[in-house]
Chain A
Amino acid sequence: MRGFEGAIDADLHPMVPGLDALRPHLEPFWADSIDQRGLEGFESQSYPPTAPRTVRADWRPQGRFPGLAEMQAWLDQTGAAIGILNPIYGVQLIFNPDMNRAFTAGLNNWVRAEWLERDTRLRASIVLPNETEHAVAEIERLAPDRRFVQAMRLVMGEIPHGRRTHWPIYAALEKHGLPLCLHAGSAYRHPVTSLGWVSWYMEDVAAQQQAFQSAVASLITEGVFVQFPGLRVVLAESGVSWLPAFLWRMSKGWKGVRFEIPWQAEPPAETVRRHIRLTAQPFDAPDEAAAQLLGHLGSQELMLWASDFPHWNYDGLPSLPPGVDREKFLRGNAAALYHRLERVPA
């Protein structure tokens, strides 16, 4: 069944099998560091490698991570025309800014060589190093390759995403017409709650929902979209259903506390609807509430379909939330967002 024929899949994950895979794509000093220092790898607590959610069982051939062949088979199965890769490998965990930059660049190089080069359906996010000037340099290095269609950071970093220290990154992204993708996951500079460290991985998974609210609050209150009116932000794997209540609260507060952030001259909900998109996998609402929730979102243009391969959110093929505009959801919203998708031949 090819129920998603022609769709744009906005979130798939090329799984790094281990540091050895990155070795040929690293600068020699850093490649040699792996053995010199006994680096074990940068798998992240956000996605423990053997946890069932990290890779669905039927996508985990002989217990190893799925590779290109498995992803290609999946794209064949869904019929998606384009798949956007968000490489999740915990390079953001690295404290040494230069090591972080090097391994992030290596990750991006690996994605380009081993994935983008081998299947013309694939596009990718530029994974951004942590330091602002490194991130700007990485954008400038990779932006000329139009198969990179956005830049990606983890939603939980060290400094909230709206803060001015990040702004040279947003200037570069706006200049190149690249959206910023904030993807679920943490660099663990802070615990995954404002109340400290959690006992259960289930809490960590749940905590993504809070992280996206904080990220949007920061982007809005700091005036990122006032400063960079051309910037768009994609929230990947957020769950979606938190958004209406969050907007109600923020818009209500803004009416009385506007004077604290006077650059925010319109209700926050309007800014969000113009500048922010959300991938719709996972979609945290039961079918019976989905239609009303879509009404609460107030727009058919907010969501981007994504399979989130190979994370385990569903069995079989993903289903569409009841009531979505199929064309916009599967293709149109992503096509409108990712300008680079127009130019690269299919």
Chain B
Amino acid sequence: MNMMLANAKPASATLGLCDVDIHPRAQSRHAFDPWLSAEMRHRMHTYGLRPRHGYVRGTPFPKSQPLASRRDAWTPQGGSPASDLAFFREQHLDHYGIDVGLLNPLQPSGQGDTNDGFSAAMAHAVNEWQLAEWVVPEPRLRASIVVPYEDPEASAREIRKRAGNPRFSQVLLMSRTSMPLGNPRYWPIYEAAQEAGLPVGIHAFGYSGWAMTNGGWPSFYIEEVSEHATSCQSLLISMVVEGVFERFPRLKIVLIECGMAWLPSVAWRLDKIYPSLRCEVPHLKRKPSEYIRDHVWVSTQPIEEPERPEHLRDTMEWIGWDKILYASDYPHWDFDDPRLSIPNWLPAETRAAIYGGNARAVYGW
């Protein structure tokens, strides 16, 4: 267990600390059985998940720590990080005094599975599991609507099924999809999300099936970590240029665990090239940076740590102080401690907005 001061809640979380990125994990793949049909249980336990890569266990780029998690997040009984609600409460929610925590289940969620039917069945099961095991017993938590995003119509059905249930705060997508997320193929998801008044949280990861860079496959995990930023840049560019925000003017996007410091450079590049390309994209009625400004929020983690802190301030100012949401990424290794990761030279009201005010505004908490 960590040595920490007893009161670990940051002083400036005056509106209440909100954490928009928590990864609950099922201890066993049988955790989803109660909500899967016999056929899907058979598939799960015979063939398993079949993402767009070849590994049965683990991930194509092995992590630098087991389960990519903090070493101290394994439960006292030896269970996987974030698999036990009681220990999670103690180590995270209670420890930091978190008022609202948003769950983003990662694998095994079935998202991005090559089998659409299985992905849809798992989405339903994972959503039920979030409610039963986490959100209903723990009122501080909110769930994300996991959807089988490679089947957008099925995704829209899952969203509509959950819409109106205040325990679900957003729709969850992964960043590496088989086509860029702005492609009209995915628009039924945005239509349903906008209709339900729900933001769409896009979390780094997933496996698109394409090489992880536009110049080929990386070799190293540290390269892959770098690639999360570029993949998120690509999906954001796609959403802007395809006109998603023109078509869905009330849609809100939260980019989670993608890094944030790159956001201004993408907005600037798009603004720079737009005048010479307007004739190609008459469906865009505004400058690209305006779409980004109005529709996109970013979570802090993994927060960039420039050599000179004022450089981070510049960057956050360019992004917009109201666009930045604190995220811990519990229980992962590159977790950001809320007390220490948000710079304390920011004014108190700015820190309060990052710690909770902005998230409450986006998610309606």
Residue positions of A touching B, CB distance < 8 A = 52-53, 155-163, 186, 189-203, 205-207, 209-211, 213-215, 217-218, 221-222, 239, 241-242, 244-246, 248-254, 256-257, 259-261, 269, 282, 284-286, 289, 292, 295-296, 298, 312-313
- Bound Cα distance from A269 to B208, whole angstroms: 29
- Tell whether, in the assembled complex, residue B215 and residue A160 are in contact, meaning their CB atoms are under 8 Å apart: yes
- Docked Cα-Cα span, A137 to B223, in Å, equals 31
CB neighbours of A195 from chain B (8 A): 175-181, 208, 210, 231, 234-235, 238
When each residue 173-193 of chain B gets 1 if its CB lies under 8 Å from chain A and 0 otherwise, what string results?
A: 001111111111000000000
Q: Are A203 and B241 in contact (CB under 8 A)?
A: yes
A215 and B215 within 8 A (CB): yes
Would A239 and B269 count as touching, CB distance under 8 A? yes
- B229 contacts chain A at the CB level, 8 A cutoff: yes
The answer to whether A202 and B216 have CB atoms under 8 Å apart is no
The answer on a CB contact under 8 Å between B234 and A207 is yes
Interface stretch (choices B158-166, B304-312, B349-357): B304-312
* B221 interface residue (CB < 8 Å to A): yes
Residues of B within 8 A of A (CB): 64, 175-184, 208-223, 225-227, 229-231, 233-235, 237-238, 241-242, 259, 261-262, 264-266, 268-274, 276-277, 279-281, 302, 304-308, 311, 314-315, 318, 333-334
Give the residues in chain B near A214, CB-CB below 8 Å: 213-215, 218, 226-227, 230
What chain B residues lie within 8 Å of A313 (beta carbons)? 272, 276
Other-chain residue from A199, A250, A256, A284 in contact with B242 (beta carbon distance below 8 A): A199
Residues of chain B within 8 A (CB-CB) of A292 are 311, 314
Known: A186-B214, A195-B176, A202-B281. A217 touches B273 (CB 8 A): no
Contact B214 A221 (CB under 8 A): no
Q: How far is the CB of A314 from chain B (nearest CB, A)?
A: 10
A and B contact pairs by CB, cutoff 8 A, 17 listed: A157-B215, A189-B216, A196-B209, A200-B280, A202-B270, A209-B265, A209-B266, A214-B213, A214-B215, A218-B219, A241-B265, A245-B261, A249-B229, A257-B64, A261-B220, A285-B265, A285-B268
Contacts known (A157-B215, A244-B311, A245-B265); A191 close to B241, Cβ less than 8 A = no
- What would 8 more interface pairs be, CB under 8 Å, given A193-B235, A195-B234, A284-B269? A206-B269, A210-B233, A241-B264, A245-B262, A249-B304, A251-B305, A257-B222, A284-B265
Q: 7 shortest A-B CB distances, which residue pairs?
A: A214-B213, A245-B261, A193-B234, A210-B230, A241-B265, A248-B304, A284-B269
Bound-state Cα–Cα, A56 to B308, Å: 40
Asked if B280 and A202 make an inter-chain contact with CB atoms under 8 angstroms apart, the answer reads yes
In the complex, chain B residues whose CB is within 8 Å of the CB of A158: 215-216
The answer on a CB contact under 8 Å between A289 and B214 is no
A284–B267 alpha-carbon span in the complex (Å):
9
A201 to B334, CA, bound (A): 36
- CB <8 Å contact, B215 and A156: yes
B212's nearest neighbour on chain A, judged by CB, is: A194
Q: Is the CB of A160 within 8 A of B213?
A: yes
Residues of A within 8 A of B218 (CB): 160, 214, 217-218, 221
In the assembled complex, the CB of A153 is this many whole angstroms from the nearest CB of chain B, namely 10
* Smallest beta-carbon distance B265→chain A, Å: 4
A200 and B281 contacting across the interface, CB-CB below 8 Å? yes
Distance between Cα atoms of A222 and B227 in the complex (Å):
15
Nearest-neighbour CB distance to chain B for A228, whole angstroms, equals 17
**Cβ contact within 8 Å between B210 and A194:** yes
